[in-house]
Every structure is written in C-alpha cells, then in structure tokens.
Structure 1
C-alpha cells in the first residue's frame, strides 16, 4: 500500500508542480503553438522539462524531484523499495511523453503538416511578442536542439547520427542521470528521516490496528530521540540543495572619454509620410564602459557593433520593393521571423581569422559589452564564407535586379560572430546616454536631451517615436581602407571623411521613425526636425568636431487637377566640410543631378539656421487615419468566445472616400481551432468625415488553449483621386490552459483513442479487460499487504 500511495502521490505532485511552474520560455512556446497542437504540447514540454533539463541550471526541477523523492522515502521507509519506487515515478513520465508526442503528430496530420512539411514555417502562427531567438536558445532541452539545427544549417552539412548522439542525445541523457541521482539520494534520506519520524505516528497506527482486530506487539511509548536523530539528515539535505539555489549578478560600469570627434544628424521623410531621424558620432578615443578596443578580443576585428532595438512588426514603416525574390511562404508569415530578432544584438566581424579563434575572441568582447550595457549576451551563430560550398577566395557571379551592382565578387576571408540578448531597449537607455560624448556638446547633447525627454523612446509618450534602434561599437578604419580597391572612387573619398588611425574608431548613434510624422493637407507640409525630437533649443554643432553634418531630405511634388507630378527631392545639407574640394566633385554633381540641393558650409560650433531643418514641401501623403483592433474579453476558457471590434477613425481635416475594411485574414493561422460564429469581417463606407469613427464587430470561438495573435485588419481609401491603405495592429486573445489534471486526462484520452484505432472493433473489450485485470491484481496485492499489516508476525 505504501509504495502504491508513494508512486501515485509522486506522479501527481511532480507533474502538477512541473506543469504549474514550467520554464517561462517553454510556457511561451506552448502558448504560441498550443492553438495548433492542443494541450498535448504543454504536457509534452512539461515532461521534457522534468525529465531532461539540467537540475543545476534549472533548480526548480531539482527541488521537485528532491521533494517528491524525499516524501516517497518517508512514506515507504525501505532502503531498496523507496529508490526503486521513485525511479518508477520518473520512468512513468516516458510513456506520458510518448502519448503527448503521438497526440501532436495526430494533430499535425489533421491540419495537413505531415503531408507538406515544407510549408511548416508558412503554417505556424505568428510568434508572440517577447519570444526571441535568444529566449529559444536559453530554453531547457529544446534550446540545444535549436542551436544544433542552426549550426548544421549554417555549415551547409546534414547532421549525422554521430553528431546527433554526441551533441544532443548524450547531454540530455546526462541531465536525466543527474535527476536520477537526486531522486536516489533524496529517497534514501527520506527513508532515514521516515524511520526516525515513524515513532511519532506509532501510537495512532497501533491504536488503529487494535481497533481493526489486529495484533499489537510494540509499545506506544516515548519517541524522545526522533527529532534529535532527524536533524543531521535535514542539515545534509540543505547542504545538498545549496549549490542549486545560488545565483550571481553583475552591476554595469560605464565611463566616457574624448578624442577625435565627428557628428552627424539626418532627417528624412518618405513618400508614405514616415519621418526618420538618425544620428551618429565617432571618436578614436571613445570609451564605452568596460569595453577595451585594445584587448585581445578585438584583434583582427574589422568591426564590432552592439545594437538594441525597440520595434514591432505592425509598427514598421512600409517595406520597400526588395531587389531579390523572397519565397512566398516566408513572406506570408514574415512577422514570425521578425519577432525572433533579439532585442539586443552584438556582431563581431573578423578578417583572416579561423572561425574557432573568432568565436573565442568574440566571447571576450561579448562579456565586456554585457557588463557595460547590463545586457546578458548569448551566443547565436558564426558565419563565414569558408563554411559555405566554394569557400574563401572563390569568385562568384553577383547580380541584383534593380541595383546598379553587377559582376563578379570574391568572397573575403571574413567571419561574423553574433550574440543576442533579451534585454529591451528601455533597460539600456540610461547606459547608452552615459556613453554618449556629451562633453563635446553640439549634436550629442541634443540627442541626449531628446532621449531624456522620451521623444526617441517608443511608448514613452503620445508623440514618441514608433521605433528606435541604438548602436555602439568600434571600427578598424585602417583595415577598411586597406580592403578597398585602389581604383575605386571610394578609396579617394573615404579618407577625407573617416580617419585612418592605428587605433579603432569608436562610434555611437541611433535611428528613429514616426509613422505619422508628416501627413495632410497636400499643400505646404511642414517637416520640423526639432519638433520630432521634442526640443525647442536651436541646433548647434560642436566646436570640438572635426566633421559636423546636418542632412534633411523630403519629397517634392506638384499637385494639379490631373494628378501628382513627381519632382526632385529637397535636400538641405549643412556641413563643416569644404565640398568645393575636387575629391568631392563627383558626390556633389550626383546630388545636384538627382535632388533639389541646398548646401551650406559653416564653421565648427556654428548655430544652424532653422530654415535648414524646418522644411516646407508639397506632396500627396496618406491622411492621418487610425485603425484599431480590440478583443473582449482578452482571456477565455477553451471553447469560449471573444468579440473582435475593428474601428476606423479619421483624425485628419479632410474626408476619406470609398473606404474598404477587410479583416477576413484575422484567424488565417488558426483555422483548425478558431471559428467566426457571428458578425461581419468586411465593410464598405462611401465616406468618413473628419473626426468620425466607423467599426465592425464579429465573434470568434476559440477551442484550444494558447495565445491567438489575430492578424491586422486592412483598410483602403481614396483621397484626391489617389488610393491609400492603412492597417491596424495585431490583437491578442488568450485561452487559458487546462489544469494539470485536465491536461493529463486529455493526454490519456489521446492514448485511449490511438489504442482504439489500432485494435479496431474489439478495442473496447480489450482495453476494458486490461484495465480490469490491472485493478484486480493491484487490489489483490494491496489486500494481502493489508492482512500482513493487520496480523504482523511476532517480534523475535
């Protein structure tokens, strides 16, 4: 009886705890793919987590197995029986894992994935916001699998069985062995503890046996030594767990210094009314916290670049026409791939260095940047032409349709090592601001103030940028100059703009964009660079700068009754460089031929006239139309319904006409688990006046647990005989996961269903008979054990 109770209790407690406290990344994966594969995926990930995660990296599994085995040992109190029973608990998760995997395969076959695995990436739903490649790499068990698949893909070689065994199978089996050791040790500790505690319960046990008519041979006397004997066991258990529970953190340290200095600021408006601002600063003495460009990690590094970004797929500017073809399946679900991009990335590019050596040096560099920006960096991949078929030195034909680049290119002996971090941009802004060379004043102080005001931090305020990218790093300009072809026009121009020094040049900067930076009316658009930055002080260059540049570019069209006539873009350039030098003649001539160019040369430290960065221009741009998509309620139980509302608001001063709203692709990735049960997903209105809002509402039933990312709604409208479009953001609905008992029951039901299909017409008879036989055998054994307990043999 005690073994059966211990096994059943161990199964229940371990699965419930593993299910309830599943690793957050595995939980996010289950939420992402749960609508496709059902709760069996959550059960599978829970069992994988309990069986094969490293207990010294993920201490929760160690605590679960230690606690369950300790309890089992206390209940069973047999030095052989307790470890065997607890190992039985561990092993029973294997058939549960197999049943979950079979259920997932069955679901995959139902939705057509088994027949067309090549469409897997196009079929998977969008990856939820916040689940990046770095998170997947750090996930227990599956992280190692993803890393090995990526390494095989970048090397261009198919994984061999030996590679699979050595790099994937052996490590997870070793983790399982660690868990088994914990189980055995904890069970034996439980046995000793149980024997010492048993005296506490002896009076009740003997009294119960006497009332049931059994023989009593043991006195129900004192148990005075129980606690004293148990104390060493508890202390040993605490010492065993202490290494598992320890964690270490590192505080950031950031300092700045000065040296050679250049600064630049760029403002740009595209034909869709999206406004962009970019800034960059270079210094051959730039100090980036703990990063030492003279360390061995930077040896033979052409460039080291740290990037942190805060952007969302639905808030990206419209994609330009790509100069190369992208497979349709990949474009169909590009959001999934974009959301995988880590929030922060470190790229290290080495020249004439073997991949293994480059990885070692990049690891040192990554540690320095991690400390400086307080962003833990995880290795992602290494890429080198030497890994590809053809290798270094091969001359390959390169042709890009639509680009003025054709001919043959020779692959350089370059190795790129990438690291990633889940640290968001908002957590790194303070460190970034400390690295900015504000001691030089000028544009660096301007950008510092804009960051401090929140104008460049997405979500910080209603007028903040929709997206921002921060970057910092070092460039070996001497190596770059040596790599340029001697007969290239850039070999004459770049030395005038970029210093060639024996030391690596540090650089830091950012780029931001506003989706509605400029909109209607069509006449006299105003692009005010300072207004976007949320500042009023005039722009002034630094007096320390060797090169200061301000560039503003806007469209320029003429609107007539017959349509829009495109003109040359307006380009205002203010710089401290003397562009009359002959070396700059090709550059100036090219700009004059393609733009409406205005060039102003000023002295270092000059205050820039407002007319250079406040530009009035004419263009037919999209109106200020807001499309929103909301779900209510956001969370439901499996089989529940949510109401989706899509609203179109005209926030402009002019009406829009012939308005089409289409949200029919909302549940395109969830056709097997989501159904529209009422309402309309499309609408048409002849006209929407300024300040007016129109909306549609429909109901969706969601069957499986997980996170449902409803795709953006699309709106098309006309204005001044031109057609424009707008989209909403995605909307999220959450279907709550079943309880641990419910998930376990559904998995067992899958096993019953599979067995029924395999046995055919006699399935009910066979399965019922098997269950009855098991119950009878267990009942007989437990009845025999009860009789032995009731009438134990006399002592001695």
Structure 2
C-alpha cells in the first residue's frame, strides 16, 4: 500500500483525539467550560490528551473504546506487524508532543492571566457545574482516594496510579494496533493473491503410465492458522480481566458547644439602598428525624442539614463559602462526621439522609462521598472527616423548611412571597457542633435579599421595620420554642434618628443599630421599627445584553450593550459604564472598542442611556461575565452600582485553535507541519515510481 505507514499513523492519531474529545467525562467538560475561557483554546485539548493517557480505561469503558478503535483503524492501514509497531510508536509520540505543545500554550495563558493589572480573578463556575460531577471523574476518584488515605496524602500512590493507567492504555493501544494490522494483512493478502493461469495443454500425447507404477498423491496442506480476529478479541478480554485483578486503587476508584440557641431576626439596609435579611431559630423537632439524640447517627456529627438555594445568594464577599456554594446542588442534604472509620461516617450519613428524605417528602440521591484528613476542631475526636452530599428536592422542600418557623415567634411574619422572591438560601438541620458531647438542637436558618420590597432611595425620612417589610400577618412575640427572640435593624451610620418602637428597644445612631430583646415574659409588640433621616443613591436599573445573544463560535465578534435607566426623582450626573473587570478576568477577550469605559453623561429622572462595547471571543467555553460597573454622581457623592452577571457560551473553533497552536509553538511546530504535509507527497511520488518500474518490467 503506497501510503500505508503514513495513513496508519495519521488515522490512529486522529481517531484517538477525536473520540477522546467526545468521551471526556462530564466533570472534566464542566471544568473545561469554566477554566477554558481564562486560559485559552488549548485547555480542553490538553485536558482531553491527559485523560487519554492517564485515565483508567479498564474501569471507564468509553476510554477503552477509544484506544481499541484508534488501534484497529491504524492497523487497517498498516497491515503488518512491523508497520503497525512503527506507526503506533509514531502515534504515541505525536500525542505526547501534542500534549506538550498544548501545555506550552497553557503556560502562556497562565502568564497572561496573572500578569494583568487587576491580578487573578477566578469567575464563578457556570450554572450546572457540580462538585459531584468533578469528583465522579474516574481518575479524579483514584487521586482523591490516594490523597485522603488515613496515613496522609500519598504522592507515591498518586504517581503509581497514573503510571499504571498510562502503561495499560499504551499496552491496549499497541495490542489492538498490532492485532488489527495482522488481521487485515491476512484478509487483504488472501483477496489480493494472484490467480495462476491454467497451463496450456500440450498438443503432444503424454506417454502412458508404466504398468505397476503408483500415481502421485497430493500432499495435504498445513492446517489454517487461527483467525487473527480471535487473537485480538482474546487480547482485549485479557486486558479487561486484568482490570479485575489490578488493585482497586489502581484500576478503578471507590469512589461553649457551638449549638445555635434563640430566635434571631436581622434586617439590614446598606448604603446603596439594598435590603438583606438573616433569620435563624431553634425548632422543637424536624419531621421524620427521631428526637433520640443519643443514637449513633448523632455521635461525632459536625453538621447534618437539608438545604435549598437559588444560586445567586452571596454568603461571603467572593470568598471560599460563595465559591463552594455554587458547586453544590440547588436542593440537597449535607452530612459531615469526624470519625476514625469513614465507612462508619458514610453509614450514619445514609441513615440520617433517609430520615430527612422521609420527613420532607423528597428523594435524596448520593452525589458526593468524600473522605478528608482531620484537621482538629472536635475535642476528643481523631481520625478523618467524612463528607456526604445528597442531591434532591424542589420548591416544596423550601416551603416545608420555612413552614417549620411560621407557627411561633417572629417567624410567623415570614411568607414565601417575600422570602423567596429574590436570592435566598435556607437550611434546616443540625449545625455548629464543636465537640461530640454537645446536645444536638435542630434549627432553621434563612438568608434572603429583600431589596425588591424596599424603598430606600433619594433624600428624606425613611422607616426600617418588620411590618413595613413583611406586612401585617403574624405576631411579633417571643418564641416559645427558642425561649428568646432578638431583633436587629441595621441602618446607615451617623443617621439622624427620628423615632423608634417599642420603647424597650435600644438605638445607637452612631453605629446605625437598633436592638430589641424579647423573652418568655415579654408581651407581643405591634411593630419593631426605626425611623431616620438619610440620603440614599437614586435607584437605577441596569440592563445588559449581547449580540449575538445565543451561542457564538470562538473567534467571533460580540457587541455588548448596557442600558442605564434612572428610576429616581433627581438627575444623576457623570454616568460611566465600565467593563474593566470583564477584560481583567478574561484575557482571552480582545477589546475592539477604543476603551472598556463608556461615558454616558447626565441622565434625567425616568430617562435612560446606552453604552456599547465590542470584543472578540478568543476561546471556547462558558464566559460567566462579571458584573458591569456603573458609577455616577448623586448628591455630590460618587455612587457605584453593578449589573447582574450574564453568560456567553462559545463553541470550539478548530481553525482558530490550530492557528494558535502552530503560531504559539513556532518555530518548533514547523517540522511537524512539514512532516504531515510532505510525507504523503513523498510517499505518493515514490509509489508512482515503483508502479512505473513494475510496468516497464512487465512490458519487457
């Protein structure tokens, strides 16, 4: 075959990369969509190649299929043992060089990321990114198992896992390549075997056979060799069987008391006019959960709670809590134990999860089962931390949790229409244990954004109160279950306080703090409020959209428009829209407009203006675009507001990727490009020359 070795090398390499791209585990796809826009189009190809080499093909069937398919296709063109060995070796080297080249580009992307003026800003993961999906990636499970071993992280164990996976993958590729080459050589050799012409019968008469002579007997042919297909099948089966005898850690992954007391209600209005609520209280019991807290399920329990959130609540100012929250399922159950035996923790977590599932009428499915080394914290405990996350729930789950507090104390004024209208997070369970001897106390906690129900903008006299916020339903009285109720109202510091109620409350205008403490002897109060004079910024509405608004291809040009509307009763001045944070976060976005700042000037009451920014998308993935910042002058003060976050989905562009791969690794990439282009030409010319020589010989 004229181009046999070349086509065997090129086809096997192409099949391995193409199929490897399609079988990349969901968790790695989510990571690529998250990190790819930060580091460039080489991140996902590099992740694919790394998983191809060190992924556990014996426990992840799609990866096994990739290596077998690549070997079979390569063997089809090689058709021979020697050519299969040469082509397979070249394919392996090529895949390694591709990984190195992508790694080189990745290093350049990291340099661009950390060398920016704003430093490194990790954006939130795209919606749908799940910690459970990431930890369920086969090779990640193997690494976590070695990293969280009882004796501490084992770097040697991790290296051995990766080395064994690499060796098995290469052996599988080589075996299928050679076996396929031999098989197809036999098949095509038999088909191409020339048919000998029948001899021309001699016109001269043959001499008669002498009397008594024995006619020649035909020699029996040698038995046919076993079909190569059978040999190849046995090889694959042998490798699969090997996966069952390799140690499990290599072939596959296994995959004060601090207790809250009292009812607490906190309403806080910020300087920008936004309103936040934090509420927590003890409850007498939780549905479905036995109140026998001496049971094993409550021994060494750090936390056990059912939870629900809508994905946008901010637990911290961009810190780790907010970061981890976005990786959790929107509805689920969390259990944390500090035990010497992780299996004990898992068993207890499963029992507790089943009780919560029954009590809240929800189906909970295990999503994350993780063992971490113990870092102390619980007195008298040692061993490891077991973390179990279960996924399941819906809107009815949040209603059931809120219903636990709506019959007693200040919780009676809470309604789903208010609490769940904006961003929120709610959980019910057992939290805050610091030692194993603490008596568990079930509680419910709620965090909610109530800005949509507030009227804090402009200059004048304002009232922050429970009735003004939640309405006339319920009773503002001490909680019989929690025994005490504390109400805190926070308003801008150094405001002029006009009035407050009831008179038993204390107010500190310098700190901007109102406090009211109710106990079992306190009488219900009609309202808890504070009235003060203050100046808040004019309320504005920011609308952000991109064109095209749907999915774009990497390399496409996008036009972003940010509209600012003044909803207040006074003119705002010097309005500026800035997308500086966007381009600091994503170096792969190329700014095409003169500046990422757009000056809109003054905006009258109820009027609006629009800013336009153009940029080119340089990578594939999901851009979780940071909020656009809008600054303006109101009442001689500079105010800054942010838009909501938006998303831009970009698909992989092969032409853009190859161009960056070649130019980014030049001049080292030129020999490989030349080899790919010139080898088939050279082979074709040589093959044509050989055919011409054969024809001339036949003519002679």
TM-score normalised per structure 2 = 0.70
Quick check: 2:305–2:431 contact (8 Å CA) kept in 1? Answer: yes
- How many Å apart are 1:44 and its aligned residue? 1.2
Q: Distance in 2 between matches of 1:239 and 1:430?
A: 51
RMSD between aligned residues: 5.7
CA separation of 1:364 and 1:92: change in aligned 2, threshold 3 A? farther
- How many Å apart are 1:663 and its aligned residue? 0.2
Q: How does 1:386-397 map to 2 (within 5 A)?
A: none
Quick check: 1:715–1:727 contact (8 Å CA) kept in 2? Answer: yes
Q: Distance in 2 between matches of 1:121 and 1:38?
A: 18
| Aligned: 1:505 with 2:407 | no
- How many Å apart are 1:442 and its aligned residue? 0.8
Deviation string, structure 1 residues 647-680 (Cα, Å, up to 9, x no partner): 222234x224324324051312345651233477
- How many Å apart are 1:268 and its aligned residue? 0.9
- Match for residue 216 of structure 1? 195
- Match for residue 747 of structure 1? 661
The structure where helix makes up a greater share of residues is 1
CA separation of 1:16 and 1:346: change in aligned 2, threshold 3 A? same
| Aligned: 1:518 with 2:463 | no
- Match for residue 547 of structure 1? 482
- Secondary structure in 2 matching 1:39: coil
Deviation string, structure 1 residues 303-341 (Cα, Å, up to 9, x no partner): 5456554443xx64995xxxxxxxxxxxxxx47984354
- Match for residue 286 of structure 2? 286
- Secondary structure in 1 matching 2:427: strand
Q: Distance in 1 between matches of 2:469 and 2:238?
A: 58
- Secondary structure in 1 matching 2:593: strand
Deviation string, structure 1 residues 44-97 (Cα, Å, up to 9, x no partner): 112112221223554432232233334445666667876885575445311211
Q: Distance in 1 between matches of 2:588 and 2:345?
A: 45
- Secondary structure in 1 matching 2:103: helix
- Secondary structure in 1 matching 2:592: strand
- Secondary structure in 1 matching 2:123: coil
CA separation of 1:767 and 1:263: change in aligned 2, threshold 3 A? closer
- Match for residue 14 of structure 1? 16
Q: Distance in 2 between matches of 1:61 and 1:474?
A: 42
| Aligned: 1:632 with 2:629 | no
- Match for residue 465 of structure 1? 422
CA separation of 1:722 and 1:193: change in aligned 2, threshold 3 A? same
Q: Distance in 1 between matches of 2:91 and 2:290?
A: 49
- Match for residue 442 of structure 1? 407
Q: Distance in 1 between matches of 2:410 and 2:177?
A: 64
- How many Å apart are 1:702 and its aligned residue? 3.2
- Match for residue 686 of structure 1? 602
Deviation string, structure 1 residues 201-249 (Cα, Å, up to 9, x no partner): 97xx55xx8xxxxx33599xxxxxxxx99899999989999999xxxxx
Q: Distance in 1 between matches of 2:415 and 2:487?
A: 18
CA separation of 1:720 and 1:141: change in aligned 2, threshold 3 A? same
Q: Distance in 1 between matches of 2:47 and 2:168?
A: 19
- Secondary structure in 2 matching 1:174: helix
- How many Å apart are 1:374 and its aligned residue? 3.2
Quick check: 1:518–1:526 contact (8 Å CA) kept in 2? Answer: no
Q: Distance in 2 between matches of 1:290 and 1:176?
A: 50
- Match for residue 276 of structure 2? 276
- How many Å apart are 1:727 and its aligned residue? 1.3
Q: 1:123 aligns with which of 108, 120, 124?
A: 120
How many residues are matched?
632
- Match for residue 376 of structure 1? 367
Q: Distance in 2 between matches of 1:541 and 1:705?
A: 56
Q: 2:328 aligns with which of 336, 343, 355?
A: 343
Q: Distance in 2 between matches of 1:675 and 1:536?
A: 52
- Secondary structure in 1 matching 2:102: helix
Q: Distance in 2 between matches of 1:568 and 1:383?
A: 53
CA separation of 1:124 and 1:525: change in aligned 2, threshold 3 A? closer
Q: 2:25 aligns with which of 23, 42, 48?
A: 23
TM-score normalised per structure 1 = 0.62
Q: How does 1:200-239 map to 2 (within 5 A)?
A: 206=192, 215-216=194-195
Q: Distance in 2 between matches of 1:382 and 1:692?
A: 58
- Secondary structure in 1 matching 2:559: strand
- Match for residue 417 of structure 1? 385
Q: Distance in 1 between matches of 2:84 and 2:435?
A: 69
CA separation of 1:311 and 1:81: change in aligned 2, threshold 3 A? same
- Secondary structure in 2 matching 1:63: helix
- Secondary structure in 1 matching 2:64: helix
- Match for residue 593 of structure 2? 677
- How many Å apart are 1:172 and its aligned residue? 1.6
- Secondary structure in 2 matching 1:376: strand
Unaligned 5+ runs, structure 1: 210-214, 220-227, 245-260, 320-333, 387-391, 393-410, 458-463, 482-500, 559-563, 575-587, 757-765, 791-796
- How many Å apart are 1:699 and its aligned residue? 1.6
Q: Distance in 1 between matches of 2:617 and 2:532?
A: 49
- Match for residue 612 of structure 1? 527
- Secondary structure in 2 matching 1:11: helix
Quick check: 1:519–1:622 contact (8 Å CA) kept in 2? Answer: no
CA separation of 1:687 and 1:449: change in aligned 2, threshold 3 A? closer
- Match for residue 165 of structure 2? 175
Unaligned 5+ runs, structure 2: 199-226, 244-259, 358-363, 696-700
Q: Distance in 2 between matches of 1:46 and 1:376?
A: 24
